[in-house]
Every structure is written in structure tokens, then in C-alpha cells.
Structure 1
């Protein structure tokens, strides 16, 4: 039901989630309750995710190069 509401809202124009109680936002007050230390921890966590995603992208490139018949594949 939620995705159909979003699709219909996008087809009608700009989606408006203010009056829709069926789709509560999971982290609605996340930034309102965060202190300075929590923000630092969040940024540190995001930096770790960024490093991990870079490792995943590199692994996928290497796997794709090994799978392909083109031996001229460079990273």
C-alpha cells in the first residue's frame, strides 16, 4: 500500500507526506534529539560506510574483470 501511495503522489505532482498518517517516518525526530557527540559518532559511522562501500565497489570491479573475456580490463 505504501509504495502505491508514493507512486500516485508522484504521478499527481509533488508528494505531500504531511497529511498521510499511514506512512510514518522511521527517524522523524532523529536530528532534533541529537547532541554534538552523537553527531560526531554518526559522521564517523558514515565515514566507515564510505570506506566499506569503496571496498565493495573495488571487489565488484575485480570480479567483473575476472569474469569478462576482455583481458585488457583496468581498475
Structure 2
């Protein structure tokens, strides 16, 4: 499984959540799609943030903030 493939699956999931997605939501979604155990979800989210593909939106709890896809992330999915 390539990192790019997991990145795209994660971005598609986050993009589909109007209210944002927590690491826990994403971990469950990745597992249901057969990607469980292929990556550390929190590390993946930090990598996506560092690349400017997602951002933390308000809401959520301190230990489980909500993430939304950025415009750059949406462009990444289109390309």
C-alpha cells in the first residue's frame, strides 16, 4: 500500500465530512476500507497538515480536534 494511496483515501474521507473529522473517525474509516494497521492515523494527520492538505477547524475536544480539507488538499484530489 502506497503512502499516496492512503493519503488520497484519508483526504476523500475528510472532504466528505462537513463538520470535520477527528483522528478517531478517520481511523475507523480507514479500517473499514481495509487500511487498518497500515499507518499511524495521528502521524498521517500531522503529515497532511504539514503539507498544507488539511487544517484544524474549531470544535472537537482538545485531545481529538476536528480536521478539514484545505483548498490545496481539494486540488491535490483533483490532480
Task: Select the structure with the greater relative contact order (CA < 8 A; seq sep ≥ 6).
Answer: 2
TM range (shorter): under 0.3
Rg larger for: 1
- More strand by proportion, 1 or 2? 2
* TM-score, reference length from structure 1: 0.22
* TM-score, reference length from structure 2: 0.22
